[in-house]
Amino acid sequence: MRARPVIGHTSAICLCLEVHVNNTHARGDATVLSPPPFGVDMPRLRGSILLVEDETFVREVTAEILIAAGYTVLKARSAVEAVREFRQHNGEVELLVVDVVLPGKNDRDMAKELMQEDPRLKTIFISGYPENMADRNKDFFRNAIYLPKPFSLSSLMQRIRDVIATG
């Protein structure tokens, strides 16, 4: 695809993602897919994934991918909303997937706050910025992994495998 932007005009790009699912059924407010459509066994989580991303398109597509892989996903647009979701689902969140740059409260401060409430919480920082943005306070974030944007489906799934493997 090639795009030639013209000053004063708006362009829209539509990306269609196709997911093939054999057996889909609803359980509560989460969609459960069986078997996972990605041809690999995804590591299981005891709890949910809390996805914190301010860009609606990125948040929604990432959530759909994670749900299609069989995960339960909670979504938040900001750090403040993430803290509220985390506390509302007390003890259910096992993995935090968070954008490095969020409106309002700083991502690291929010992650620290949640990790102090639950030290077992694992974190994947996603960002379009260089990795050193997530490297600060690395000792505190020993259960954290960095994933650069844009990311592929396979790199997201690999990072989930990596963070779960950290124990």
| pLDDT per residue as tens digits for the range 8-44 | 666 555 444 444 333 344 444 444 444 444 545 566 6
Q: What structural domains and CATH numbers belong to the chain?
A: 44-165 (3.40.50.2300)
Largest CA distance in the chain: 52
- Torsion, Cα 131 133 138 144, to 10 degrees, reads -60
What does pTM read for this prediction? Answer: 0.70
Residues 80 and 52 sit within 8 Å (Cβ to Cβ): no
Instruction: State the pLDDT at residue 135.
Output: 54
Helix axes 56-68, 153-165, angle to 10 degrees: 70
**Separation CA 164–CA 106 (nearest Å):** 24
- Spell out, as residue ranges, where the chain has pLDDT lower than 50: 1-2, 14-37, 39, 134, 137
Report the alpha-carbon distance of residue 156 to residue 65 in Å, rounded: 9
pLDDT of amino acid 5: 60
Nearest to 96 by CA among 68, 124, 64, 65: 124
**For residue 73, what pLDDT is reported?**
95
pLDDT at site 81: 93
- The whole-number pLDDT of residue 50 equals 95
pLDDT at 33: 40
Predicted pLDDT of residue 104: 72
Q: Are 61 and 24 in contact (CB under 8 A)?
A: no
Contact 126, 53 (CB under 8 A): yes
